[in-house]
Structure 1
Amino acid sequence: MPVLLAALVLVPAESASASLASMHCTQHTLPVRLSETGAASYSMWGELCYRGPRQPRTVQLLVHGAGYNHVYFDIPYGNGYYSYVRAATLVGYATFNVDRIGTGRSSHPVSPLVNIAGGSVALHDAITALRSGAVSGTGFGKVIWVGHSYGSIYGWKEISTYHDVDAFINTAALHVFNQPHLNANIFPNFYGASSDPAFAGLGLDPGYLTSKPDMRHLMYYVPETSDAGALAADEANKDVVSYTQLTDLAAIVALPPASALTQGVTVPTLILNGQADPMHCSAVAEDCTSSEVVQQFESQYYPPQAQLRTVLIPKTGHNTVTSTTSPYSTAVMLAWSLSVAAPY
């Protein structure tokens, strides 16, 4: 992976030594709240990974998108080619790869409670646990939020509310959506999760949705950078999204630039997006002609303190980590991370 090597040459000596060690992972279940005044009666599952004998100073919190779970960042296919967890720990970071509330091994409350406000409180509790030492016994000094799609949009809300992270990697989340793609390939391909064999026995209420079988290639990928094996792994590990989250999203993206949630993001921010992302990029949505064009447009939604940097990944769709260009995306994300918050 030549592009990943470009990031590796920037790694500090201690991180380089750690990268030679095997990866150590532990699973944790954290008590979290869904409101500021509520009890921590829900649970968020996460996996903490790092290499070497000493815990790094900086952890990357990995927050997946809608219809996904933690597997997005560590897909079981390709011998690590598609694993962001593997790459990030190789350059010396710890990763805490979570299942958001309403997904995976975390709590599944009634679907109206699975929303942007409550989910942000829960993720704030997870960050607090990482910093306090409640996760591993030793607190982390710095936290980098790494979001994918809706996981980035959760970052818009959480970071602007709590200001508790040191940097933000925003992937697959721009401020304009491609409505024709949503109408043709997204909305028609969601259905009740209880109708899907993967979730039929979980007792989920009708407000939980999932993608119809074998439709994710149309929803999130482009043919030029799709891998049949990665698509199969994506399908096999798909998850759910609440209807409430979709309605929340519509309200969030309708906000004008001056009122955008991201106006409260005051830490260094990297926007990374597929240049052919069908969710955002089109003649009737956001102009993805170049990184500079997207940067100029998106900058109206962020304050100067975000020190915004934008990178588009050529010939790539919505899912940058699980497309064949994954090493390129990962190298950009990690090189930028090293420039703003080193592992040690």
Structure 2
Amino acid sequence: MTGLVLRLASAATAIALAAAFAPTPAAAHARPWHHSTMDVRVAVGVDGVSTAGIHAERYTPHRRPRGVQVFIPGATYDHHYFDLETEAGVVSQARQAARDGWVAIVLDRVGTGRSSKPAAESVTTAVHVASIDHFIDAISDRYARLPIVVVGHSYGSVVAEGVAARSDEVDALVVTGFLYRATLPSFEGFPELTPAAADPVLGRRNLPANYLTTPPGSRDFFYHLPGTHPATRAADEATKATTTAAEVPGFAAELTTGTFAASVRVPVIVVVGEHDYLYAGNDPKAFAPDQERAFGAAPRVDAVVVEDAAHNLALHRNATRTNDLINRWAAAHS
């Protein structure tokens, strides 16, 4: 197994990575992508959900695409995590991927955004993995012969690993905001989830009973505040989504057992912020070896720690450098 562990700290570091990863061509257009939406009906067949509708936002480059990136957000997030409009401008990992030549597809998991919303007890990891596996099949049919890279964030990384372990269509896996470690992380300070029906942002959306979200003003926990713009955090609060208690066991099980990771057989990169609560207190020397052990069947496992960033890597000021690293890695290993 080959691997690479880096600390992504500065523009100089990003420039140095150009020697390791294929260069990204300059954009040929001021707006080098076309935006559209996708709504796909997929089979599920687990936990009381027979079929589900998955909504996604899609950015397609004007030039011939080099591949497809499918983005899976985490708990209490929908597609806005990867594609956020703020009063200070757009913060979008998806649009950056499209500028770099990828078809970027950012989905709403079942239970979030404009996707199907079954009863809370049916919004489970098994439902997410099954539904997105079939969604990936539909993407593969539409973009035949293009490599498919699945990009997850936080709980979305758990789902992405489950999809990569199950699907024959996934060529590479990007795990962000999630990692494996010998000692369990501390969840001290994690926002206590509250009913979405009582939330100022979500309370008028007629959501099913027992959907949950973060309390108002609590999402700073996911940020390294000196490394973020206040407008980004405000837009995050204004576009927040939901989770359910039924999602928690899947996250906990993967964190402690690594069942999905052990079955992944495509190249993997794990990217976390140095201030991420999941990384805090970890032994830096063990970080890369722990990821390599977790993804023991993968042909390549790379591990990156991003300085001046916390859990929400895509929403920090240095996100463009992190995204560039991911896009270069994906181009080289898919």
Report the TM-score when normalising by structure 1: 0.85
1:34 Cα offset (Å): 2.3
1:143 Cα offset (Å): 0.4
- Among 175, 179, 192, the alignment partner of 2:180 is 175
- Among 186, 207, 211, the alignment partner of 1:208 is 211
1:124 and 2:97 correspond: no
| Paired position in structure 1 for 2:244 | 242
1:323 and 2:316 correspond: yes
Query: 2: CA distance between counterparts of 1:59 and 1:89?
Result: 9
Query: 2: CA distance between counterparts of 1:139 and 1:29?
Result: 19
Q: Which amino acid aligns with 1:103?
A: T
- Among 109, 116, 120, the alignment partner of 1:107 is 116
| Paired position in structure 2 for 1:87 | 96
1:336 and 2:334 correspond: no
| Paired position in structure 2 for 1:98 | 107
Q: 117-126 vs 297-306, which deviates more?
A: 297-306
Matches within 5 A, 1:267-286: 267-278=266-277, 280-283=278-281, 286=282
| Paired position in structure 2 for 1:225 | 227
1:294 Cα offset (Å): 0.9
Q: Which amino acid aligns with 1:275?
A: E
| Paired position in structure 1 for 2:35 | 25
Which structure carries more strand by proportion? 2
1:231 Cα offset (Å): 0.6
Query: 2: CA distance between counterparts of 1:86 and 1:241?
Result: 25
* CA-to-aligned-CA distance 1:125-171 (integer Å, 9 cap, x gap): 111111112xxxx5352100011111110012111122420001100
1:164–1:3 distance in 2 versus 1, CA, 3 Å:
farther
Kindly indicate whether the alpha-carbon contact (under 8 Å) linking 1:46 and 1:96 is maintained by their aligned counterparts in 2. yes
* CA-to-aligned-CA distance 1:168-193 (integer Å, 9 cap, x gap): 110011124987742x322x521011
* CA-to-aligned-CA distance 1:20-56 (integer Å, 9 cap, x gap): 65320111110012226988632000122122154x2
Query: 2: CA distance between counterparts of 1:335 and 1:19?
Result: 20
Kindly indicate whether the alpha-carbon contact (under 8 Å) linking 2:47 and 2:126 is maintained by their aligned counterparts in 1. no
Equivalent pairs counted in the alignment come to 321
1:298 Cα offset (Å): 1.9
1:202 Cα offset (Å): 3.0
1:89–1:226 distance in 2 versus 1, CA, 3 Å:
same
- Among 147, 151, 159, the alignment partner of 1:154 is 159
Q: Which amino acid aligns with 1:339?
A: A
1:305–1:178 distance in 2 versus 1, CA, 3 Å:
closer
1:316–1:178 distance in 2 versus 1, CA, 3 Å:
farther
1:244–1:176 distance in 2 versus 1, CA, 3 Å:
farther
1:204 Cα offset (Å): 2.6
Kindly indicate whether the alpha-carbon contact (under 8 Å) linking 2:27 and 2:99 is maintained by their aligned counterparts in 1. no
Query: 1: CA distance between counterparts of 2:134 and 2:253?
Result: 24
Report the TM-score when normalising by structure 2: 0.87
* CA-to-aligned-CA distance 1:246-303 (integer Å, 9 cap, x gap): 1222223232x5xx3201111010100001111x1233xx32x3xx531112221112
Q: Which amino acid aligns with 2:53?
A: S
CA RMSD of aligned residues (A): 2.7
Identity %: 24
Kindly indicate whether the alpha-carbon contact (under 8 Å) linking 2:47 and 2:122 is maintained by their aligned counterparts in 1. no
Q: Which amino acid aligns with 1:175?
A: Y
Which structure carries more helix by proportion? 1
Kindly indicate whether the alpha-carbon contact (under 8 Å) linking 2:14 and 2:325 is maintained by their aligned counterparts in 1. no
Query: 2: CA distance between counterparts of 1:199 and 1:79?
Result: 23
Secondary structure of residue in 1 paired with 2:240: coil
* CA-to-aligned-CA distance 1:171-223 (integer Å, 9 cap, x gap): 011124987742x322x5210111112222333334311000010002x1122
